[in-house]
Amino acid sequence: MTETQETPAAMLLLAPSSKAADILEKKFELRKDGAARAVLAQGARANEALRAALAGGVSAVVLISPPAVEALDEDIKSRLRDIAAPILALFGTEDSSSPVEFGHAWRRALPKCFQTFVFDAGADMANERPAAVASLVAEFLTLGEGFLVNHGDGRALP
């Protein structure tokens, strides 16, 4: 997201309800269907999120425990390079169904994919470490690619 883009007010939630979603709901409108400029998808629903991104109008995609790139639907797999929106892909360090090793292929297929490893979490990271997931997602939605830069107040005693 560039400086001229606005923080998405609404996010399409292609994932089960979770403690992380509860936290995010305080900052963003979460929709279970319809259109939104940000999409969060869990597991195989990454296909739907990427399809929405390919359709345009999406400025940020968050994927939690996405499948292996090679396991994506064929129509998505062949068009990955056409996706303009930055993607935050979260992998739990204890997730055997979507291990951190999947991140490599995501990075190679999508240069704008930011792989992040959520320590001590499995596929249910949105409930296991809700604050860790929600804070990162909120930062990504707010700052886009700029989330790489720390915007926090580093003073221990302001």
Partner 1 sequence: MKAALFSAARYNGPAEDVGWPVASTVYAAEAASYALNIALDQFEMADQLGFDWVSVAEHHYAPFSLTPNPMIMAGALTQRVKRAKIALLGASIPINNPIRVAEEFAMLDTITGGRVIAGMLRGTPNEYVTYNINPAESRARFEEALKLVKTAWTQTEPFGWQGRYYQYKSVSLWPRIVQKPHPKIYMSGSSPESAEFAAKNHIGLGFAVTSVPLAKVAADYFRGQCRRFGYEPDPEDIIYRVGVHVAESDDQALEDFTAAVGAAPRGSLTMANRALESAVAATGYYGRDADAQRGRLMPGGLRERVEEGRILLGGPESVLKQIEKIRDDLGAGVVDFTVTHQMGAKTNRSIELIAEKILPKIRGW
Site for partner 1 in 88-127 (CB under 8 A): 90, 93, 100, 103-104, 107-108, 114-120
Q: How many residues bind partner 1 (CB under 8 A)?
A: 22
What φ, ψ does residue 55 adopt, rounded to 5°?
A: -75, -15
Here the contacts of 12-17 (C-beta below 8 Å, separation 24 or greater) are 12/36, 12/38, 12/39, 12/40, 12/49, 12/52, 13/40, 14/39, 14/40, 14/41, 14/42, 14/45, 14/48, 14/49, 15/40, 15/41, 15/42, 15/43, 15/45, 15/64, 15/126, 16/42
Q: Are 11 and 36 in contact (CB under 8 A)?
A: yes
Does position 132 interact with partner 1 (CB under 8 A)? The reply is: yes
Q: Whole-number minimum distance, CB 77 to partner 1, in Å?
A: 19
Q: Whole-number minimum distance, CB 93 to partner 1, in Å?
A: 6
Binding residue (CB under 8 A) for partner 1 from 46, 133, 138, 141: 133
Could you give the CA distance from residue 132 to residue 20 in angstroms, rounded to a whole number? 8
Q: Whole-number minimum distance, CB 135 to partner 1, in Å?
A: 8
Does position 58 interact with partner 1 (CB under 8 A)? The reply is: no
Q: Whole-number minimum distance, CB 125 to partner 1, in Å?
A: 9
Q: Which stretch binds partner 1 (CB under 8 A): 8-16, 45-53, 61-69, 145-153?
A: 145-153
- Residues near partner 1 (CB under 8 A) are 90, 93, 100, 103-104, 107-108, 114-120, 129, 132-133, 136, 147-150
